[in-house]
């Protein structure tokens, strides 16, 4: 793998280390006290709770529509939409938000033996030191990450646990069984490419982002159509329904455009490693996005500022933990793609 040395005035291609330094969960302190990770858990937990609370207003609106003459079909459609949204928030909270009691417990690091990693479709099995097997459903990017780094962090003591991975803040719910998944086969090691365009983990991560954005666009189109239906059958809504429809259509267009961009590979063929010095702590937004800024040095020795707005918390955690900023291609003033070689971490940084 290669990167660009930016200390001198000229650009020199140097090897990227086999194991790129990255954020890792610390088993020496309670999970809720970990920098960035603990605050991230608090934020997404509150967001999930608020989302569930707000979506309960939709059934009330559906019932009100029935008694105000909007008709049975529209009222049932409102309740069905509410059920779908509530189900999504419940699923999100169940899958990614640990219980409050677990914030008082530390993570336990588990190194995976050579023959201790198997997979059956999306279900991955990890043999634990006591001979039992951890089973967790992972998308392609995380399966490749696990195959390359061969270690996980467990949070919880019962058969139901949460699993953390190298370089990422998000945890996944998993279960422990006495046997591996049925029909599982051994997972071979994965070689990480030094090219952002050819990085298998990053490519799989971008495909997942594209799928999520397409799903978001589809939901917003449904929401726009629903708002128009409300406007036609429930005239009392007047411009409110049309405003919702217009906003949903605009959001769907933005999501579809971003999905198209993420569906294409990054054009850069090398990473540029910059030293990053933060000018303050990482700030977490109300919905779990991160904000950070600091100083870095370009290839000609120019010291410039950098900023990440609404960044993936994993991106912020890696920069804060390692003091490194990896740029896809040659860094120039303005917007640039940033990530971590071999990890499902991606963002946009503003230089200068």
Per-residue model confidence (pLDDT) at position 83? 74
Residue 84 banded pLDDT, cuts 50, 70, 90: confident
Per-residue model confidence (pLDDT) at position 124? 96
Encode pLDDT of 6-18 as tens digits: 433 333 334 444 5
Q: Quick one: which H or E segment has residue 108? A: strand 108-111
| Cα three-residue angle 213-215-164, rounded to 5 degrees | 70
Encode pLDDT of 136-167 as tens digits: 999 999 999 999 889 999 999 889 999 999 99
Q: Are 282 and 316 in contact (CB under 8 A)?
A: yes
The better pLDDT of the pair 112, 302 is held by 112
Predicted confidence (pLDDT) at residue 318 exceeds the cutoff of 60 = yes
Q: What is the rounded distance in angstroms from the CA atom of residue 107 to the CA atom of residue 24?
A: 11
Encode pLDDT of 188-226 as tens digits: 887 777 889 999 999 999 999 999 999 999 999 998 998
Contacts of 264 by beta carbon, 8 Å cutoff, 6+ apart: none
Per-residue model confidence (pLDDT) at position 133? 96
Q: By three-state DSSP, how is residue 338 classified?
A: strand
Phi–psi pair at 288, nearest 5 degrees: 95, -5
Residue 2 banded pLDDT, cuts 50, 70, 90: very low
Contacts of 253 by beta carbon, 8 Å cutoff, 6+ apart: 217
Encode pLDDT of 246-285 as tens digits: 999 999 999 999 999 998 888 899 999 999 999 989 988 8
For all residues of the chain together, what is the average pLDDT?
A: 85
Per-residue model confidence (pLDDT) at position 91? 79
Encode pLDDT of 219-233 as tens digits: 999 989 988 887 777
Per-residue model confidence (pLDDT) at position 9? 32
Per-residue model confidence (pLDDT) at position 54? 62
Q: What is the rounded distance in angstroms from the CA atom of residue 280 to the CA atom of residue 22?
A: 20
């Amino acid at each position: 793998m290669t990167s660009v040395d930016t200390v001198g005035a000229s650009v020199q291609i140097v090897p990227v280390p086999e194991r790129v330094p990255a954020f890792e969960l610390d088993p020496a302190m309670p999970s809720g006290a970990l920098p960035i990770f603990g605050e991230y858990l608090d934020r997404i937990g509150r967001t999930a709770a608020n989302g569930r609370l707000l979506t309960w207003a939709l059934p009330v609106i559906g019932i009100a529509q029935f008694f105000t003459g909007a008709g049975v079909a529209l009222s049932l459609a409102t309740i069905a939409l509410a059920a779908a949204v509530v189900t999504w928030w419940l699923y999100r909270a169940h899958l990614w938000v640990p219980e409050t009691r677990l914030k008082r417990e530390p993570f336990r690091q588990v190194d995976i033996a050579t023959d201790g990693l198997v997979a059956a479709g999306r279900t991955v099995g990890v043999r634990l030191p006591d001979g039992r097997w951890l089973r967790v459903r992972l998308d392609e990017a995380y399966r490749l990450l696990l195959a390359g780094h061969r270690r996980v962090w467990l949070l919880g003591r019962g058969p139901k646990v949460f699993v953390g991975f190298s370089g990422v803040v998000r945890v996944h719910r998993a279960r422990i069984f006495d046997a591996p998944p049925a029909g599982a086969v051994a997972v071979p090691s994965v070689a990480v490419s030094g090219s952002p365009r050819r990085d298998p983990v990053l490519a799989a991560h971008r495909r997942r982002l594209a799928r999520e954005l397409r799903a978001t666009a589809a939901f917003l189109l449904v929401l726009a159509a629903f708002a128009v239906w409300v406007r036609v059958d429930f005239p009392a809504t007047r411009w409110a329904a049309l405003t919702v429809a217009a906003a949903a259509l605009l959001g769907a267009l933005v999501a579809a455009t971003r999905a198209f961009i993420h569906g294409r590979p990054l054009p850069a063929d090398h990473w540029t490693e910059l030293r990053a010095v933060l000018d303050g702590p990482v700030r977490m937004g109300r919905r779990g996005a991160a904000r950070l800024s600091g100083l870095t040095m370009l290839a000609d020795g120019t010291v410039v500022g950098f900023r990440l707005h609404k960044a993936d918390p994993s991106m912020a955690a890696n920069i804060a933990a390692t003091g490194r900023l990896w740029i896809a291609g040659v860094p120039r003033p303005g917007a640039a793609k940033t990530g971590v070689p071999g990890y499902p971490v991606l963002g946009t940084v503003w230089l200068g």
